[in-house]
Amino acid sequence: MNDFLLFAALPYAALLVFFLVTIQRYRQRKFTYSALSSQFLENKVHFWGSVPFHYGILAVLFLHFLFIVMPKTILAWNAAPLRLWALEATGLAFAVLALTGLVNTIMRRWTFAKARRTSNAGDWILYALLLVQVLTGIGIAIFNGWGSAWFATSASPWLWSLFTFQPDVSYVAGLPLMVKLHALNAFLLVGVFPFTRLVHILVVPNPYLWRKTQVVLWARPRTQAGKGG
């Protein structure tokens, strides 16, 4: 029963909050969608926090994504021990990169008075959750090795059971505590996502890549503007 609360009810609640609040926030408080960068207030240590964290976490998230959508392919890849080793080592390296960046970011926010001034309670909660997430992730990689192998028979089906609205918590019931914590904390992050600066992920500027260099906006269509005169 407890497992059901934590690994089925809570994820759904988190996802519901995620969708409702991000949409409501985008429609009604669009102004608050910002990365809230503090690079302007301190731009030396910023590099050693933001850059490794982002590259590290993006790579790790990408690997998680692969494991979820194509567990069989991952298992086939892992058939050769050397390839399993390489995959595990790559994941761990990026996780350590993310941790380094995160620790630098938190230290920077705390030690530089100007950066601390612009941090609110939401930022600190977010940092705490991210730190737990990255630390448990690294812990799993080290102490509960070969996650890329057992992921396919536990976490991946569990997540699929959630996505297909047939929640089956039996997949995660027997997992070690650290893995459970990692999974639980992930959904906590999903739940707090819309209330924090994490929303900047949803507005990454991909249109920039396709748009024309200069942006000129007309108050009304140009052809109409000339008609009356």
Residues binding another protein (CB under 8 A):
30-31, 33-43, 46-47, 50-51, 53-55, 113-114, 116-118, 197, 200, 203-205, 207-209, 211, 213-220, 222-229
Task: Name the burial class of residue 188, with classes exposed (0-12), middle (13-18) and buried (19+) by CB atoms within 10 angstroms of its CB.
Answer: middle
Nearer to another protein, 4 or 26 (CB): 26
Minimum gap (Å) between residue 111 Cβ and another protein: 12
Nearer to another protein, 81 or 229 (CB): 229
Minimum gap (Å) between residue 192 Cβ and another protein: 18
Nearer to another protein, 30 or 83 (CB): 30
Of residues 122, 143, 103, 100, the one with CA closest to residue 191: 122
Minimum gap (Å) between residue 32 Cβ and another protein: 9
CA angle centred on 93, ends 92 and 94, rounded to 5° = 95
Minimum gap (Å) between residue 52 Cβ and another protein: 9
Nearer to another protein, 22 or 170 (CB): 22
Nearer to another protein, 81 or 228 (CB): 228
Q: What is the DSSP string of 6-39?
A: IIIIHHHHHHHHHHHHHHHHHHH-GGG------T
Q: What is the DSSP string of 35-100?
A: ----TTT--SHHHHHHHHHHHHHHHHHHHHHHHHH-HHHHHHHTTSHHHHHHHHHHHHHHHHHHHH
Minimum gap (Å) between residue 225 Cβ and another protein: 4
